[in-house]
Chain A
Amino acid sequence: MTHPTERTIAVAGAGLLGRLVAWQLLRDGHAVTLYDAGDLEHPEAAAWTAAGMVAPLCETAVSERSVFEMGRFALAQWPRWLDALDASGLWHHQGSLMVAHAQDMGELTQFRRDLAHVLDDEPPCQTLDDAEIHRLEPDLAASFRQGLYLPDEAHLDNRELLARLLAEIRRLGGSCHAHCPVDTFPGEIETRDGRRAFDLVVDCRGTGARQHHPSLRGVRGETLHVQTAEIHLSRPVRLMHPRYQLYVVPKPDQRFVIGATQIESEDRSPVSLQSSLELGSALYTLSPAFAEARILEQGVNLRPAFRDNLPHVTERDGLITANGLFRHGYLLAPAVACHLLAGIRGRGEQPFAETLTGHPPQESAA
């Protein structure tokens, strides 16, 4: 690898995006300093609360085509990065499964129609009957008679990934500052101890970066983490219901994440009883054996979102901001990271420039 002139670069925010960018910049030979307002081992980032799905089709049905394109990019990029981290075992590319109760079959039809519209093509998914559903996931409740299988979707063990990235950043000599809230400026970072100059500052602070993005908002999401040895799932399963669409994602150690609610609020208080009933009953519906699962954690976090719910990267002399990954962190982070890394490296085309470059709606260049 050819190393350009070494620069001093500060990365603010050690969520998924901040860690990916810091790691890559260290590999490029830069001197990187990583700051986070919270803990690094148990981050406050949405990436820690998230379920770690890389589901371009599921997510595109509720957003737009660019999300699908960036998601396809992620499906190709993640295995390369995980390989470089010697962590290929964290990647699970076994598709995802979508099921609905008999009375809610319309939801599956609607999903297919929405997806066909966004893709302008027949969506790459297969209708399954009950035998096929249970061949894929034998532990699901017997009552599911029809489902959709989306082969080209994946999930990753996100908490382990965040830990591996941090370890690698440290191994490569990155300087990490936990519990250190900062303000970011072109070529400068301000901490409680004053200002420090850098050749470049990259701001990946999510909802913490409202200083630069007045239109940025947080969208509350709630999850449950449960543990049971009675059920094995090989892939994420999504329950389609007219009022909520929840998914369960298998994790190491017989753990499962069920999520997530989506509430237009910046409320960080604990999970509400209503949400916990919804999440719990979705789990129970997927398999009654979940009834005796133990609730290990209730997660609450805010997804950073711009008004179009799409990510945006802004660049000016000495300061790059990347934000607004909304509910698509693991799906969109590779595209966003590669876009801004190409800009820093000054070579190669910046992918997805049309979507990512420029100011988010309602914000003009300040």
Chain B
Amino acid sequence: MSALHDDTLTLYGESFSSRFLLGTALYSSPAVMEASIKAAGCDMVTLGLRRQNPAEGDGDAFWQILRDSGCRLLPNTAGCRSAREAITLAQMSREMFDTPWIKVEVIGDDYNLQPDPFGLLEACRTLIDDGFKVLPYCTDDLVLCQRLREAGCQALMPWGAPIGTGRGLMNRYALETLRQRLDVPLIIDAGLGAPSQAAEAMEMGFDGVLLNTAVAKAHRPPLMAEAFAEAIVAGRKAYRAGLMQQRQTASPSTPTLGQPFWHSGV
């Protein structure tokens, strides 16, 4: 029994009881956010600092609510447009939250918030050398992901689709390639709109899912958080159980004795 259920996510040597990471922006109120975090059963939540004037600690009233959730905090560098900005913000967040964890985001395009691979790699190299546990938000480009891996990232967070679009896994081929070629935990970050898409990612062998808008902008965010949590568990179980191969010919699960083979017309 235990072997069947012993399936924790491990990132940088730390175990996580949930494979669902939740973002903390866009909720209609902190109370709705707290209820969603609880319903998601997540173990880690991300928080943005860029516009909160972090140097002065002015966001503290809000951050305290997140600390009270009992989740581990994953500060992010959302809104940074260069490696230098991301590095400075990461260092500030390490001091403020007393954590080496950082989700590194370097935005290359303002319209679709696409990560800048060059700035991202530069920031990750510096931050890993500086002792951070870096989770880079990246595109699904294999070579970028390999470079991030070589830089020392022990987990990667490729996008499913651009942030907030809800389009799901836009490039299954690229994501399958990442899964086959990389031996580190991979978390799908951004672009998911429906629990079925999260289940799909987990069935493909991804190790976790990070999302925000799909839950925060639902009519009933806690219920949607629960739906995603269940989909992620279901997808993970399916992956571990081993999905059957799709076939062209129908194959009845009950043997149909007495039917001669020539009925199949082969």
| Docked CA distance A305–B29 (Å) | 9
Q: Does residue B4 face the partner (Cβ distance < 8 Å to A)?
A: no
Give chain B interface residues in 43-87, CB to chain A under 8 Å: 51-53, 56, 58-62, 65, 79
> Hey, what's the 0/1 contact readout for B6-39 against A, CB within 8 Å counting as 1?
0000000000000000000000111110100000
> Does any Cβ of B come within 8 Å of A307's Cβ?
yes
Cβ–Cβ contact B34 & A218, under 8 A: no
Q: A62–B32 Cα gap in the complex (Å)?
A: 12
Number of interface residues of B (CB under 8 A): 20
Quick check: B219 and A264 within 8 Å, CB to CB? no
Q: Considering the complex, which residues of chain B in the window 161-175 have a beta carbon less than 8 Å from any beta carbon of chain A?
A: 164
Asked whether, in the complex, the Cβ of B56 is within 8 Å of the Cβ of A267, the reply is yes
Most buried by B among A64, A242, A264, A269: A264
Once A117-B219, A217-B61, A242-B164 are accepted as A-B contacts, the answer to whether A265 and B28 lie under 8 Å apart by CB is: no
| Interface check A88, CB cutoff 8 A | no
Q: Which residues of B contact A308 (CB under 8 A)?
A: 29-32
Contact mask for chain A residues 263-291; partner B; CB cutoff 8 A; 1 contact, 0 none: 11111010010110000000000000000
Considering the chains assembled together, what is the distance between the CA atoms of A346 and B134 in angstroms?
A: 60
B28→A264 contact, CB < 8 A: no
B79 / chain A contacts, CB cutoff of 8 Å = 274
Residues of B within 8 A of A (CB): 28-32, 34, 51-53, 56, 58-62, 65, 79, 164, 217, 219
B23 to chain A, nearest CB (A): 13
CA distance A147 to B58 in the complex (A): 37
Q: Report the separation of the CA atoms of residues A265 and B52 in the bound assembly, to the nearest whole angstrom.
A: 5
> 29 A–B contact pairs at CB < 8 A?
A62-B28, A63-B29, A110-B217, A217-B30, A217-B62, A218-B61, A263-B51, A264-B59, A265-B51, A265-B52, A265-B59, A266-B58, A266-B59, A266-B60, A266-B61, A267-B52, A267-B56, A269-B56, A274-B51, A275-B51, A305-B29, A307-B31, A307-B65, A308-B29, A308-B31, A308-B32, A309-B28, A309-B29, A310-B29
Which residues, 96 to 125 on A, are CB-close (under 8 Å) to B?
110, 114, 117-118
Which secondary structure dominates chain A's binding surface? loop
> Which of B30, B51, B56, B65 is the one whose CB lies under 8 Å from A272?
B51
**Bound state CA distance, A70 and B51, in angstroms?**
32
Chain B residues whose C-beta falls within 8 Å of the C-beta of A217 in the assembled complex: 30, 61-62
Separation in Å of the B135 CB from the closest CB of chain A?
A: 22
Please state if A263 and B52 are interface contacts (CB–CB under 8 Å).
Answer: yes
- Cα(A354)–Cα(B62), bound, Å: 26
Complex: how many Å from CA A110 to CA B218?
A: 10
Taking CB atoms, residues of chain A closer than 8 Å to B61 are: 217-218, 264, 266
* A361: Cβ under 8 A from any B Cβ: yes
For the complex formed, measure the closest distance between the CB of B58 and the CB atoms of chain A, giving whole angstroms. 4
User: Provided the pairs A217-B62, A218-B61, A265-B58 are in contact, do residues A361 and B28 lie with their beta carbons within 8 angstroms?
Assistant: no
Return the chain A residue nearest B219 by Cβ: A117
Residues of A close to B52: CB separation below 8 A: 263-265, 267
Known: A62-B28, A242-B164, A265-B52. A307 touches B59 (CB 8 A): no
**A267 touching B53 by the CB < 8 A rule?**
yes
Instruction: Report the minimal beta-carbon distance from A302 to chain B, rounded to whole angstroms.
Output: 10
**Which listed residue (B30, B53, B164) contacts A307, Cβ 8 A?**
B30
Q: Which residues of B contact A272 (CB under 8 A)?
A: 51
Please state if A264 and B62 are interface contacts (CB–CB under 8 Å). yes
Decide: A63 near B219, CB < 8 A? Known: A265-B53, A267-B52.
no
Query: How far is the CB of A78 from the nearest CB of chain B, in Å?
Result: 25
- Cβ distance A215 to chain B, nearest Cβ, rounded Å: 9
A269 with B219: CB separation less than 8 A:
no
B193 to chain A, nearest CB (A): 12
Indicate if the CB atoms of A64 and B60 lie closer than 8 Å: no
Whether B30 contacts A309 by the Cβ 8 Å rule is yes
Given pairs A64-B28, A267-B58, A309-B31, 16 additional interface contacts (CB within 8 A): A217-B61, A243-B164, A264-B52, A265-B51, A265-B58, A265-B59, A265-B62, A266-B61, A267-B59, A269-B53, A272-B51, A274-B51, A305-B29, A307-B30, A309-B28, A309-B29
In the bound complex, what is the Cα–Cα distance between A305 and B79 (angstroms)?
A: 25
Q: B residues within 8 A CB of A64?
A: 28
Q: How far apart sit A148 and B31, CA to CA, in the bound complex (Å)?
A: 30
Give chain A nearest CB distance to B66 CB in angstroms.
10
Of all chain B residues, which has the CB nearest A242? B164
Nearest first, the 7 closest Cβ-Cβ pairs linking A and B are A217-B61, A267-B58, A309-B29, A267-B53, A264-B62, A265-B52, A308-B31
In angstroms, how far is the closest chain A Cβ from the Cβ of B249?
42
Residues of A within 8 Å of B56, CB to CB, are: 267, 269
Q: Which of A62, A114, A310 contacts B219 (CB 8 A)?
A: A114
Complex contacts, A310 vs chain B, CB 8 Å: 29
